[in-house]
Amino acid sequence: MGSQTRPYNDKNVNAIDRKRERERYNMLKTLEKNAPELATKLVQRLLDKHIIETTSVEAIREVFTNLFQKLPEMEEFDVQYKTAPLRGLVADPNFISLYLTQYIAEDLLNHDKIQDVFGDDLEIYQAVDSVMGALRPPQ
């Protein structure tokens, strides 16, 4: 019983894959380059939308700044594994926003300066993507 495979010389598929990789690379580099500013905006948005409650805004801003600087160096598998539970959350999701949504719901919740995290996955994603959506190239 033979299996059907996609031909590897399909120019259109390869062009789409290269474009996605280039976009992903550019988004991660922009995130890393602007980490402190984006971290400040994200924490402020999460506070404004009542997603997080914290005893130290500065500590949480620092957590996100460090995460933004490390994210470009993460293995693709680790990012995919983290975002897997949320892939069906929205159509055409921003992978950085998905990663951060899952990070907030799973990891940030356990930070000693976080009192509580509110909202469901979609509310968290929308708050995060309202800041991180600026990283995506225009469609």
Task: Give tens-digit pLDDT for 14-65.
Answer: 887 888 889 999 999 999 999 999 999 999 999 999 999 999 999 999 999 9
Tell me whether residue 126 is in a domain. yes
Tell me whether residue 128 is in a domain. yes
Residue 115 backbone dihedrals phi, psi, to 5 degrees: -85, -40
Cα separation of 120 and 108, whole Å? 15
pLDDT band for position 1 (cuts 50, 70, 90): very low
What pLDDT score was predicted for residue 7?
A: 55
Say which amino acid occupies 52: I
pLDDT band for position 8 (cuts 50, 70, 90): low
Tell me whether residue 3 is in a domain. no
- For residue 14, how far is the Cα from the chain centroid? 25
Tell me whether residue 113 is in a domain. yes
Domain of 112 in residue numbering reads as: 11-135
The pTM score is 0.87
What pLDDT score was predicted for residue 14?
A: 82
Tell me whether residue 50 is in a domain. yes
Tell me whether residue 2 is in a domain. no
Say which amino acid occupies 124: I
Is the pLDDT at 11 greater than 60? The verdict is yes
Structure confidence by residue, pLDDT tens digits, 107-128 = 999 999 999 999 999 999 999 9
Structure confidence by residue, pLDDT tens digits, 98-109 = 999 999 999 999
Residue 136 backbone dihedrals phi, psi, to 5 degrees: -75, 140
CB distance 118 to 52 below 8 Å: yes
For the chain, how many structural domains are there in total?
A: 1
Tell me whether residue 65 is in a domain. yes
Tell me whether residue 93 is in a domain. yes
Cα separation of 60 and 54, whole Å? 8
